[in-house]
Each structure stands twice: as structure tokens, then as C-alpha cells.
Amino acid sequence: MSAVLEAQALEKRYGSDVAALRGVSLAVEDGELLAIVGPSGSGKSTLLHVLGTLERPSAGTIRIDGHEASTLSARSLAALRASAIGFVFQQFFLLDGRSALDNVADGLLYGGRPLGERRARAEEALVRVGLAHRLEHRPNQLSGGEQQRVAVARSIVGEPRILFADEPTGNLDTVSGQAVVDLLRELNRGGTTVIVITHDRELALELPRRVELRDGLVELDTAA
């Protein structure tokens, strides 16, 4: 395997007083499934934003899918996110007035694909997450677990190399949450690199690799 994501000596400062990341180095191999875990204030959300190129680090370097993200323009970073990175958040961020199919198809808008292709690929993604029978349902007609599956489908419709899942079970009951974890495992078996960001140590312990953050530093990495 080769690293699909490499971070070296990442720092992120807000103003002169707050250091959210204080020299984090991390390599993620293609096809890995891992958890980044830590309590509130540990820096894990900041690390998600930096690794996912949503924020630039104050210092350090990031390589994603062979690209030196630290030196890319904002436009090039957006293109990299569109082609290589998918996000699933605790909040589902679905549009109430649109069907599951169109919510997922909207994930391909940046690529400029025609509507027919976007909807065809959205249907494939929804079938993949077990929602073939919910294509035309709107979010208010879906359970919480089904809404999270729609969000997962939207994140994978562009076939990203890396999927970041930020507290993906946080708004779900135990049964629905376990179903989402099982889905992430299935996507990983299909070749997607999956990085789960969570404060839930029980969830983290279920995954093959665990990176523990505290006070902006890596305290434990079970792959090290």
C-alpha cells in the first residue's frame, strides 16, 4: 500500500493565543479504516478541517492523493476536494424540498456533469447504501438513519479516494448508528479510505487503527 494522505508537523493557530494543532504528523495508507478520537477541545475537528483542505494549516505540509495541498490555490483545492475527498457530517445537511435522489445528485454539481448523468450516478450511490426504495422521498419522509445514508451516498457519488466521517453516529440511536458504521466498513472493503472523527471511544475501538488526540498533539497511534 502507499500513503493517500500524508501530514507533516501540522500546526493551526487562531490568533496569538490559541494553538489548536501543535505539530501533528500522520500518514494514512490507501484503503485504511481508522478513527481519530479525542475529547472536546483535543483538536480533532480542526484536524478534520485541515486534512480535508477546508482550512489551511498555519505551518506544516499535507499531501493528498499525490498533490501538495499546502501550495495549491483555492480553486485547485476546491477541485481536489471535488475529485478526491468526501465528507459525512453529524448534521445531515440535506435540502428539505428536494428528493433523496436530487440531494445526492447535487454532490456532482461542481464537476459540471449534465443532469441525466448526475441523477444516474446518484441512483447508483443510493442503491449502494441500501436506499433503492427511497429515491423520491424527501428528508422529512426519512428516518434519521436513512437521512445519514443519503448523506453518505452524496459523499461517495463522486467516488472519492478518502471519506471523512465526522461524528457520523452522533445524531442516531444505537441501531441506526451501528448500521451506519457497518456501511462505512462496507465502503472501506470496496476500496475507499475511511477516516472517522469521533469522541466515542467505543466506536474508535471497533476500528482497525486508532489515532488519539489531546491538546493538539497525537497521544497514541496504534499503527505506529
Q: What is the pLDDT of residue 90?
A: 85
Distance CA 62, CA 69 (A): 6
Q: Name the pLDDT band for 193 (thresholds 50, 70, 90).
A: very high
What is 3-221's CATH number, 3.30.465.10, 3.40.390.10, 3.40.50.300, 3.50.50.60? 3.40.50.300
Whole-model pTM above 0.85? yes
Would you state the cell numbers that stand for residue 153, as one nine-digit string? 451516498
Could you tell me if 212 and 199 are in contact, meaning their C-beta atoms sit under 8 angstroms apart?
no
Considering only CA atoms, which of 3, 9, 61 is closest in space to residue 216? Answer: 9
Instruction: Check whether 91 has a pLDDT greater than 90.
Output: no
pLDDT at 13 over 90: yes
Question: Would you state the pLDDT for residue 191?
Answer: 93
Q: What is the pLDDT of residue 2?
A: 80
CB 13 within 8 A of CB 20: yes
pLDDT above 70 covers what percent of the chain?
Answer: 99
User: What is the pLDDT confidence band of residue 224, given thresholds at 50, 70 and 90?
Assistant: low
Rounded Cα–Cα distance for residues 173 and 145 (Å): 8
CA 45 to CA 209: how far, in whole Å? 18
* pLDDT at 1 exceeding the cut of 70: no
Percentage, residues of the chain above pLDDT 90: 75
- pLDDT tens digits for 56-72? 999 999 999 889 998 89
3-state secondary structure of 196: strand
Domain spans of the chain, in order of start: 3-221
pLDDT for 5 equals: 96
For the purposes of burial, counting CB atoms within 10 Å of the CB of 207, is it exposed (0-12), middle (13-18) or buried (19 or more)? Answer: buried
What band does 16 get if pLDDT is binned at 50, 70 and 90? confident
